[in-house]
Amino acid sequence: MSTISAAAIAAAAARIQGSAVRTPLLDVSRQADRPLRLKCENLQVTGSFKYRGATSMITSLGSGETGNGVITYSSGNHAQAVARAARARGIPAVVVMPRTAPAVKVEGARAHGAEVLFEGTTSTERRVRAEQEAARRGLTIVPPFDHPAIIAGQATVGREIMEDAPAAARVYVPIGGGGLLAGVASAVKQARPAARVVGVEPVGAACMAASLAAGRPVTLESTASIADGLLPVRPGDLTFAVVQALVDEVVTVEDDAIVHALVWLCRHAKVVVEPSGAAACAAALAAGPAPGNGETVAVLSGGNIALPALAELLGSGAGPTSDRPR
Per-residue pLDDT tens over the stretch 58-94: 999 998 899 899 999 998 899 999 999 999 999 999 9
CATH number corresponding to 6-48+147-316: 3.40.50.1100
Active-site residue among 48, 56, 186, 301?
301
**Residue 33 neighbours by CB under 8 Å, 6+ apart:** 325
The percent of residues above 70 in pLDDT, for the chain, comes to 97
In this prediction the pTM is 0.93
Do the two domains 6-48+147-316 and 51-141 of this chain adopt the same fold?
A: yes
CATH number corresponding to 51-141: 3.40.50.1100
SS3 198: strand
Residue 153 zone, left/alpha/beta (φ > 0; ψ -120 to 50; rest): alpha
Residue pLDDT, tens place only, 21-58? 999 999 999 999 999 999 999 999 999 999 999 999 99
**Sorting pLDDT into bands at 50, 70 and 90, what band is 325?**
low
Active-site residue among 39, 50, 105, 189?
50
Residue 105 annotated to the active site: no
* Per-position b or e across 248-259, b if 16+ CB within 10 A of its CB: eebbbbebebbb
**Contact status, residue 50 vs residue 80, Cβ threshold 8 Å:** yes
User: Domain extents for the chain?
Assistant: 6-48+147-316, 51-141
Task: Indicate the DSSP class of residue 277.
Answer: H
Residue 50 annotated to the active site: yes
> Nearest-CA neighbor of 231 among 204, 258, 249?
204
